[in-house]
Amino acid sequence: MNAATRACALRRAYFLFALTLAPLPVVIWLIWHEQPLAALLLFCTVLTTLMIGTLVPRCALFGRMIKQLPQAGNQVLLTIDDGPHPQHTPAILDLLERHQIKALFFLVGKNAAQHPHLVREIIARGHEIGNHTQMHPAGTFWLLHPTRLWREIADCQETLVAICPDHPPRFFRPPAGHHNLFTALIAHALGLRMMMWSARGFDGVQTDVPTITQRIARRLQPGAIVLIHEATPVAIEVAQSVTSLLENSGLKCDTPPASLAFGDDEVATKPPAH
């Protein structure tokens, strides 16, 4: 990555950080002038806005993101997070081949470095890989300062490009979907678009496969981006159930269209109909 590009992105990120601190002198001034309720209201408004933009995965307050595919056709996208996994990835690849489904695997850099042959196998089977950070700090990613956040995304990109130089990731997904004020800016500087989802079953935290599948089925429609995980106790069972669901849905399940990487943000972020 060009050093000038990195420096420019980090300058912009730290400028945004400084802007978030701008209300602090006003809060202090209000307290000094014995207006504690006004100070509290301003503080809570700013804090609530920051928390919503950070912890609500599909909230685009801090930057553009892809929430679903453009509904011009009959396509859906299956995305699979947290791999590669030495047992789960080969089994899931076989399931996808059996059901004639192509997917986008959001890979963790450290896992990819440990199992580079699985990354190559994903590509060889006609799927796409995406950037899911180097270390997958799910609990703290939203707290990272710009320099550390850059390193998480850039290191993963470098890891994956080193393994498959002809297939660089085009999309980025933050761990657990939690992102902060700087995430979209830094991802864009690295040539990535941030992608979320529109249909998930919470298989990362729950283990009841029928319930997980039903949740996905309720939101399965043209343009849906489906999320499932590797490295969970029910990863294979969920993959079996969801791939069967996708095959029986009559919807086309392929890798993202080429236009999506630099497509119409207004279309790409349009929320799914209920």
Enzyme catalytic residues: 81, 229
Rounded CA-CA distance 140/118 in Å is 27
Q: Is residue 268 a contact partner of residue 67, using CB atoms and an 8 Å limit?
A: yes
Helix (H) or strand (E) holding 133: none
In the chain, how many H helices and how many E strands?
11, 8
By CB neighbour count within 10 A (0-12 exposed, 13-18 middle, 19+ buried), where does 257 fall? middle
Dihedral angle over CA of 173, 177, 178, 181, nearest 10: 50
